[in-house]
Amino acid sequence: MPTLIYSHPASLAHETPAGHPERIDRIRTVHQVIRSPHFKATIHREAPLGTEVQILRAHTEEHYQRILAASPESGFEYLDPDTVMSAGSLAAALRAVGGACAAVDSVLANDADNAFIAMRPPGHHAEANRAMGFCLFNHAAIAALHARAVHGIERVAVVDFDVHHGNGTQDIFWSDKNLFYGSTHQMPLYPGSGARSETGVGNIFNAPLKAGDAGAEFQTAMEDIILPALNLFEPELLIISAGFDAHVRDPLGSLELEEDDFAWATLQLMEIADTHAKGKIVSVLEGGYDLQGLAGGVGAHLQALLHGNAAVED
């Protein structure tokens, strides 16, 4: 079955101030990768608008109303020193929510094995009641809760290999034993959470890495902590928070992952999804701030999601 890619031009209208790392060029770069002849075996779909019902499964009404009220007609509105909205930001975020939920619908309806949401802003720092770290709504958490509410499955896992800890997903999943959150990330680093000792109700698995750690340490963290726990959890759907800022070239992190490491992690997760979830994976783009590193990471990840078949039709 094919790999779906969800995108929308709205991602190009979320403006951030000059010098902000989470910039429009990121998604231009991702669009070049996903539209390259190398990936012509993928099926492209336009993301629908996300809905209030979808968002309120993960966020408070207060948070949702605060984001709506902050949306500016022009210029920039700062939600915190890092997190900013322009006139196009709300639509971009709503499309990213809608894309993630539509991908869940398609994958669970057997339209595809897996799907990649090639959209911005990222989402994993957004907590139930707080926007932060460039994130307005938590697309991965919203997608997980959408799957449970609409498709009648119980156990959904999010695995996050962004260089930053997904405090938002951890926050939303914290007390629900049928939601799994596993994360590799650099520590210490923004947002400061993600210690091994943060375990929720036995459903949170943090595997912090230190500055300078590379593929070997990343693989050990995955093999020792995340993957065995994920296997025991037996997810019915696997969601990946796919950030590529752990790449060696990235200016925001100091891990030293390369393209092959992202491919390796993706293939490991696919194996577990094959065992427990009929191969069903929805992958959501998170960070990645060096354009070359981002392109390489997305390419390697997508190639893996295509079961390595991308190049066959070249």
Binding residues for Zn ion, rule: CB under 5 A, are 162, 164, 243, 245, 287
Strands (E), 176-243: 179-186, 204-209, 237-242
Which one, 200 or 287, has the nearer CB to Zn ion?
Answer: 287
- Is 125 among the catalytic positions? yes
Report in angstroms how near the CB of residue 75 gets to Zn ion at its nearest: 26
Q: Which residues contact 143 (CB under 8 A, 6 or more apart)?
A: 100, 101, 103, 104, 239, 282, 284
CA distance 43 to 18: 34
Report in angstroms how near the CB of residue 109 gets to Zn ion at its nearest: 31
Which one, 245 or 258, has the nearer CB to Zn ion?
Answer: 245
* Structure-token pair, residue 181: 């959150």
Q: Is 103 exposed, middle or buried (0-12, 13-18, 19+ CB in 10 A)?
A: buried
Q: What is the dihedral of CA 166, 218, 20, 69, to 10 degrees?
A: -10
Which one, 42 or 167, has the nearer CB to Zn ion?
Answer: 167
Residue type, 288: G
The C-alpha angle 271, 273, 275, rounded to 5 degrees, equals 70
Catalytic one of 8, 63, 125, 185? 125
Report in angstroms how near the CB of residue 286 gets to Zn ion at its nearest: 6
Backbone angles phi, psi at 45, to 5 degrees: -130, 145
Report in angstroms how near the CB of residue 65 gets to Zn ion at its nearest: 27
Taking every pair of Cα atoms in the chain, the longest distance, rounded to a whole number of angstroms, is 50
Residues facing 157 on adjacent strands: 180, 238
Which one, 194 or 287, has the nearer CB to Zn ion?
Answer: 287
Report in angstroms how near the CB of residue 140 gets to Zn ion at its nearest: 13
Which one, 25 or 52, has the nearer CB to Zn ion?
Answer: 25
The residue number whose beta carbon is nearest to Zn ion equals 287
Which one, 75 or 251, has the nearer CB to Zn ion?
Answer: 251
**Paired sense of beta strands 156-160 and 237-242, if any:** parallel
Closest to 53 measured CA to CA, from 127, 115, 142: 142
Report in angstroms how near the CB of residue 194 gets to Zn ion at its nearest: 12
- Tell me the catalytic residues: 125
